[in-house]
Amino acid sequence: MLSKEMEEALNKQINAELYSAYLYLAMAAYFESINLSGFANWMTIQTQEELTHAKKFYDFVYERGGRVVLGAIDAPPKSWDSPLAAFEGAYEHECKVSAMINDLVNLALKEKDHATNNFLQWFVSEQVEEEASADAVVQKLKLIGDHGNGIFMLDRELGQRVFHAPGTAGE
Ligand code: FEO
């Protein structure tokens, strides 16, 4: 059974994961608008991943006898100044999400809620990957600078990303 405080915190995290999906979909739309379909593909896959994160929290709340209550999702930004600015935004966002997950773990430990702590450990590992994968693109974009050819090649690379449901190979 979840405490009321934990139930509310997990509901807040469902909202944050859905906002993440919305943010990355907005970034996908931005990349489509500047004809970088590979970058858009990367962001679309990221959107799908965020939806699975939200669903994991949703299922867990019910599994533990809680109640999911969905709130309004904030509107994401409409545009970014450059591909680098968008990926820097993605990286910063993931760092914020990591901090939220850490806060949830702290709450679980405070409440001696070992089941929730155990559940959250998947997200602790996932956030390491989430930060690293966004930062990897940031670093490549910094190296490329304004070279159109490099952007074109990176667009092809990012276009090859495919979606793997959590818990499957290549996650
Ligand atoms: Fe659900 Fe990108 O963290």
Q: Which sequence spans correspond to the domains of the chain?
A: 4-71+80-158
Residue pLDDT tens, the chain, 171 long: 899 999 999 999 999 999 999 999 999 999 999 999 999 999 999 999 999 999 999 999 999 999 999 999 999 999 999 999 999 999 999 999 999 999 999 999 999 999 999 999 999 999 999 999 999 999 999 999 988 899 999 999 999 999 987 666 544
158 and 38 Cβ atoms separated by less than 8 Å:
yes
For the chain, report the end-to-end CA distance as a whole number of angstroms.
Answer: 30
4-71+80-158 fold: Ferritin (1.20.1260)
Decide whether any atom of ligand 1 lies within 6 Å of the 155 Cβ.
no
Report the pLDDT value the prediction gives residue 165, as an integer from 0 to 100. Answer: 78
Q: Distance (Å, rounded) from C-alpha 146 to C-alpha 115?
A: 49
The helix-helix angle for 114-144 and 148-158 (nearest 10°) equals 150
Q: Sign of the CA dihedral 19, 168, 83, 123?
A: positive
39 and 155 Cβ atoms separated by less than 8 Å:
yes
Task: Output the CA 18–ligand 1 centroid distance in Å.
Answer: 9
Decide whether any atom of ligand 1 lies within 6 Å of the 131 Cβ.
no
CA-wise closest residue to 50 among 80, 77, 18, 23: 18
Residues sharing a CB contact under 8 Å with residue 141, sequence separation 6 or more, in sequence order: 83, 84, 87, 154
Q: Distance (Å, rounded) from C-alpha 153 to C-alpha 137?
A: 12
Report the pLDDT value the prediction gives residue 105, as an integer from 0 to 100. Answer: 98
105 and 3 Cβ atoms separated by less than 8 Å:
no
Tell me the whole-structure pTM to 2 decimals: 0.95
Report the pLDDT value the prediction gives residue 168, as an integer from 0 to 100. Answer: 61
Report the pLDDT value the prediction gives residue 49, as an integer from 0 to 100. Answer: 98
CA-wise closest residue to 95 among 141, 139, 130, 50: 130
90 and 134 Cβ atoms separated by less than 8 Å:
yes
| Nearest atom within ligand 1 for CA of residue 130 | 2
Nearest CA residue ID for atom 1, ligand 1:
50
> Cβ–Cβ contacts within 10 Å for residue 33, how many?
11
Decide whether any atom of ligand 1 lies within 6 Å of the 53 Cβ.
yes
